[in-house]
Structure formats: structure tokens, C-alpha cells
Amino acid sequence: AEYLRLPHSLALIRLRNPPVNALSLAVVNGIREGLQKAMSDHTIKAIVVCGANDKFCAGADISSFSRSSPGISFGVVVDEIQRYEKPVVAAIRGVALGGGLELALGCHYRIAHAEARVGLPEVALGILPGARGTQLLPRLIGVPMSLDLITSGRPVGADEALKLGILDVVINSDPVEEAVKFSQEILDKPLEPRRLLNKSVPSLPNMDSIFSEAFAKVQKQYPGFLAPETSIQALQAAVNLPYKLGIKEEEKLALYLQKSGQARALQYVFFAESSVHKQSPPSVASWQTASPQPISSVGVLGLGTMGRGIAMCFAKAGIPVVAVESDPKQLEIAKKAVTSMLEREASKMQQSGRAWTKPTLTFSSSADMLCESGRFGQKTGKGWYQYDKPLGRVHRPDPWLSEFLSQYRETHHLESRSISQEEILERCLYSLINEGFRILGEGIAASPEQIDIIYLSGYGWPRYRGGPMFYAATVGLPVVLEKLQKYYTQNPDVPQLEPSDYLKKLAAHGNPPPKDWQSLAGPPGSKL
């Protein structure tokens, strides 16, 4: 941070840490030193705090999280600012997020450009606003809005922030110039009403139900995700405890989250999301330049309207199709429909003088044995379970199924055994992860981050678990390898369980972090 003396007995502290003025140790020390200089210089009457390059501050430097416990000592700085006897005015342009907004909440006044955005997005990183954010914001704007902003992490525009009372002035001109003028106008005003730490949280008669509704909402919306729930606990502390004790509770809860695997996963996701746009596969191939993989045949399950259309598309492209339909009536209808569609296509082509090769389309009426017994799951009230009614959701074990399975085992000479939750999870996830390693080894994905972001964005993998490849690193690659080897030995007919060479190469290095995988595993092949 830079310290500048301005005319009219003012000092300016400017955060400078491109590209977003994130709070590193050096920036925090710079802020502190600047404030001390201004306080000890009796010619300085007020201080303006701003950020360089049209951004106030995007909060703590996320890349430093693995090295330290952010928030705890910065909260002391935020309190010191509030207690100063000279007015401190935040001049906000661009963003004031996380620790950036906490810094601004420590200031006695906040002036922002109309296009600025402010917020406490810490939950998205698996943590909470631990530098007084959970204690100061409710004192400023009340509990309901603080709950909304902190548990969602949603930033708000300057106009909304002004209405909520987070900002004091919003302007369309330069906020630093405005803050300089403003500082001179408020020099004689008492500072005590501006010190949030000495205020109490506005009380409401139904505070208990507000909190219980908030807990219920986040548990429903984000099941298993620690940060929103823990943030609510910190807000409860703001209501129930005096400031001195509230900040201790905030620190305790912040530390708990910072040490959680969820915070590590979400911080990985933050950088993974920004890096994937910049990566291309090692072969430099892309979807625009890659040649398609050969397809020898295609299977289509279900011959409703969609299934028929899909089967037709492949058949027309000359790719053999095997279509499976469990309902004999539906199968007959589909056969007729597809045959007539193909004949129409053939006659159109013959009329236009183009050659026509009859496509290969094989129908199979082999069906899922349960479906053949009329057990289609919830919709028919029975499947693997018995349901309370057709479309019902209450299920119970079905003696019919036990009998069916025991006959099946007898026919196929299978021995029954109980399978633990752990084995189910490992066989499903590790075979998925194994495929991820194959894809990396083949050079189809450019990085483990790409696979993870696809899983987070497209397959509903919980963000706070970081994606399958990150999960593999948290379990430990040698563990994943050992388990795959064990399951493959037990099930040699399941190729997905055969450990990939890429995983073997990496596990030989112990458990390297995903960012080092490619350099350690050597050049990948290129199937693209």
C-alpha cells in the first residue's frame, strides 16, 4: 500500500497489488504502517483509503490461504481503524469484496462509484467473513439482510448497497476526489456514532425464528456444506454476545472452517475455474482441429419418440445400431415407424439420384429382468423395492425380490455376501477417477482441473468436494491405486477397475498435488 500526503491536511492510503489489490501480508502491513503514520502526524486531520487500478480490494489473497490463517490478525486492523480519533473514509471503485469490504466496514464512512460492487463472498471459498464481517455487518444493516448476503455470498451493486445502508454516498464521479471533499466536510462531526463495534445489532421480536428458518433454508439448499451454517452461528453470536466475545466466537468458527477439507476444495475450485479457460490439451488439439474417434456401433436404450429419432440418425450416418426396447408392443410400433422412416428416406434419395445403402439396425427385445416382471420402479409402485403406491416415495424391502435374487444366484452360481457402504463408494468413485486418469494419459483433457470443472458444472458433483480428481488427491493416489488393484483382482471382468498406467506413474511419486501431475507423469499420448 502507498502512503501519500494530500493538501488540506489529508492522507491517502492506496492499496496496490495487481490485478485486484488482494490483501497479502505486504498489503496489510502497508495499510497498518500508513495508518500509524497518519495517526502520529498531528498535521493530518483525516484519511482516505482507496485501491489502485480502479479496484478497491477483492479481499484476502486466496493463493496465500494454504500458508496462513487469513482473517484473524486482519480483524485487529479493522478494529483499530474504528477506534482511531481521525475520520477514515473508504473510497470504493470496482469491487470491495471479502476482506476488502471488512476493511471498508472498519472505516467511518464509505463512498462508492455507482458501478462498484460490494459483498462478502467467503462462503464460496468454504470460509466465513472472519475479519469482523459477521459481527459488523449485522450491526450496520440488521440480521435478515446480513443472513442473506453472508450465506449466499452474493455481491450487491452500489445502489442496492446504499439502500441497505452499507454505503453512505454513491456518486458517478471519481470516489477518491469525492472522499477528499467529503472528509473536509465531516471533520468536526463526532466519530462515536460511526464506530460499528460500539453499536448493538438492531433487535427484532422474532430473532429466534429468523435464525431457525435460516438454518433450515441452508440445510435444504446446501446439504452437507459447512460454511453457510457456520456463518449463521457467527451471526447468532453477534446478536447474543457483546462485541468482544462475538469476535472471539467468529475467530473460533473461522478457524474451524479454514481447517476443513471443504475450504481447501473450494479454494482449489476458485483457481481451477480461472485456469481452465487458459488451458488446451498438450497436443494443442481442440474440438475444431481434432479428428473424431471411430465409432463401430451404437446402442440405444428405449424406443420411444426420442430413441427412434436417435437410432435413425446413427443408422442414416451408416453406423450399426442395436436398439433395446423392453415393451414388446412398443418394440413393434418402433420397428414399423423406423422401417417406414428408412423407406421414406430411401425413396427420397432414389428420386434425387443418390445411392442408397440399407442401414444395419438390430432390434433386441432382451429386457431388464425386473422390467419384464412389470416392475418399473416408483411409477408402477414396485421395482427393487415395494412402494406405498404407484408414484409413491415410501419404499420397503420386497420379499418377492429376495426370492427372485436367490433364484438368480442359484442359476448363475453366485455366492451372496454383504457389501459395505465403503466398497460401494470406492468401486463407483475410483473407477470414475481411474477413467479420469486414462483421459489425462491419452491427452484428451488438458489438466485434472478440466475434468473437475466439468464434473462440478455438468454432473452435480458438490463444489465443496472439489471434483473427482481433487478428491483422489485428498484420499491419496497410492490409496486409490491399492483399492483399484484389490477390486480388479476380485473382479477381473470389470475393465474399469484395472488401474490406469497414468495413475500408476503418479502414485509412484507418492501423492503429488493435481497441479504437478502432468509434469510428473511425462508427456501424454494424444487421442485427439
Q: Edge-to-edge, what's the strand order for the sheet holding 298-301?
A: 298-301, 321-324, 361-364
97 strand-pairing partners: 119
122 counts as catalytic: yes
Q: Which of 98, 175, 448, 466 binds ligand LT2ZWINM (CB under 6 A)?
A: 98
Dist. CA 104–CA 245, nearest whole Å? 22
**Applying CB under 6 A, does 112 fall inside the site for ligand LT2ZWINM?**
no
From 85, 122, 160, 482, the catalytic residue: 122
**Applying CB under 6 A, does 68 fall inside the site for ligand LT2ZWINM?**
yes
23 strand-pairing partners: 60
**Applying CB under 6 A, does 90 fall inside the site for ligand LT2ZWINM?**
no
90 strand-pairing partners: 49, 110
Binding mask 128-147 toward ligand LT2ZWINM (x if CB under 6 A, else -) reads: --xx----------------
Q: What DSSP string describes 33-84?
A: HHHHHHHH-TT--EEEEEESTT--B--B-GGGTTTS-TTHHHHHHHHHHHH-
Question: How distant is the alpha carbon of residue 184 from its chain centre?
Answer: 44
Helix (H) or strand (E) holding 182, with range, is helix 175-185
Q: Which of 274, 339, 350, 474 binds ligand LT2ZWINM (CB under 6 A)?
A: 274
**Applying CB under 6 A, does 466 fall inside the site for ligand LT2ZWINM?**
no
Identify whether the C-beta of residue 253 lies closer than 8 Å to the C-beta of residue 230.
yes
**Applying CB under 6 A, does 468 fall inside the site for ligand LT2ZWINM?**
no
The three cell numbers of residue 144 are 435478515
Angle (CA) 13 17 18, round 5°: 130
**Applying CB under 6 A, does 122 fall inside the site for ligand LT2ZWINM?**
yes
The three cell numbers of residue 524 are 501424454
**Applying CB under 6 A, does 118 fall inside the site for ligand LT2ZWINM?**
no
**Applying CB under 6 A, does 74 fall inside the site for ligand LT2ZWINM?**
yes
Q: Which of 30, 34, 51, 71 binds ligand LT2ZWINM (CB under 6 A)?
A: 71
**Applying CB under 6 A, does 66 fall inside the site for ligand LT2ZWINM?**
no
The three cell numbers of residue 143 are 440480521
**Applying CB under 6 A, does 64 fall inside the site for ligand LT2ZWINM?**
yes
Identify whether the C-beta of residue 523 lies closer than 8 Å to the C-beta of residue 488.
no
**Applying CB under 6 A, does 79 fall inside the site for ligand LT2ZWINM?**
no
Q: Which of 59, 441, 466, 467 binds ligand LT2ZWINM (CB under 6 A)?
A: 59
Catalytic residues, which ones? 102, 122
- Residues of this chain that interact with ligand LT2ZWINM (CB under 6 A) are 19-20, 22-25, 28, 58-64, 67-68, 70-71, 74, 95, 97-99, 121-122, 125, 130-131, 274
